[in-house]
Amino acid sequence: MRKKIALIGGGQIGQILAMLAAQRELGDIVIFDIPQLENPVKGKALDLTEMAPCGDYDAKVTGTSDYKDIAGADVVIVTAGLPRKPGMSREDLLAVNIKIISEVARNVKQQAPNAFCVIVTNPLDAMVYVFQKVSGFPKSKVVGMAGVLDTARWRAFIALELGVSVEDVAGTVLGGHGPTMVPLPRLTTVGGVPLTDLLDKPAIERIVDRTKEAGTEIVKLLGTGSAFFSPAWSAIIMAESYLKDKKRVVACAALCEGEYGVKGLFIGVPARIGAGGMEKIYEISLNDGEKAMLSKTADAVRQTVAECKVEATA
């Protein structure tokens, strides 16, 4: 029997998620959106169904506004929420998206209580916290997408700077999904060669800054909305690792309970994703400067989470 993937939110990211999941034959796909957008998601589902013969994939794709249709989903990817607009910070989204994510969490808990859940909605670090608290799901079954995306942007900008393949750039980005995130130049390599041997400090600092502001850069260029291709691919990597028990070690917003000196917060850390969900957090030996930056990003996440005022579900 095929696996079932529920996509909560059928906008730009949701529709690309549906296409990628179908093309990779990860399972049958249900695209959920609010009643006012039921026909559009049904249209997108039909379009993907008609694309299947050309795309050489087998997947049943449906659209709905009824949460009952996500019943028994193996994976739930949440993109629902108000997107960021020019001049709007992720924190500006907080109040409205808390309400949306809380409703999603309650319905997912009722209809798909065993699902592995990937949260994409911004402000990411707070929204994954809200989802986990409201749903009451174990930490192994709830993660935030951003670490994969932040690391992808870091690798992409390094490859552009050096004129090399992105495949040969290895590195990771820790911390919150925003301007306090922590790229790690000291531990980044290109074909095994340390990045610090290939670029001088000003060049590296320029790439660090661009990585931190990558989402905002795209928002300004688009004029309306925010990034959609790269977040979708990032979430698919996580879903696929879970469904296929690939044991990928990727940066994701995972619930830390003492790791990196952080307690009770979802921040970007290297984590193994397999059939058990988020199975293990890996701790990197950081120098004093990196520890200070991680402490700063944890403080920023803690402040945003404190504003959520969400109590855990019994």
Mean pLDDT of the chain: 95
Per-residue confidence at 314, pLDDT binned at 50, 70, 90?
A: very low
Domain boundaries, the chain: 4-146, 147-306
pTM: 0.95
What fold does the segment set 147-306 form as a domain?
A: L-2-Hydroxyisocaproate Dehydrogenase; Chain A, domain 2 (3.90.110)
Look at residue 87 in the predicted model and tell me its pLDDT.
Answer: 72
Look at residue 312 in the predicted model and tell me its pLDDT.
Answer: 57
Per-residue confidence at 89, pLDDT binned at 50, 70, 90?
A: low
Q: What is the mean pLDDT of residues 182-205?
A: 98
What does the alpha-carbon distance between residue 304 and residue 127 come to, in Å, rounded to a whole number? Answer: 10
| pLDDT, tens digit, 9 for 90 and up, residues 44-78 | 999 999 999 999 999 999 999 999 999 999 999 99
Q: Which CATH architecture does the domain made up of 4-146 adopt?
A: 3-Layer(aba) Sandwich (3.40)
Please give the positions annotated as active site.
177
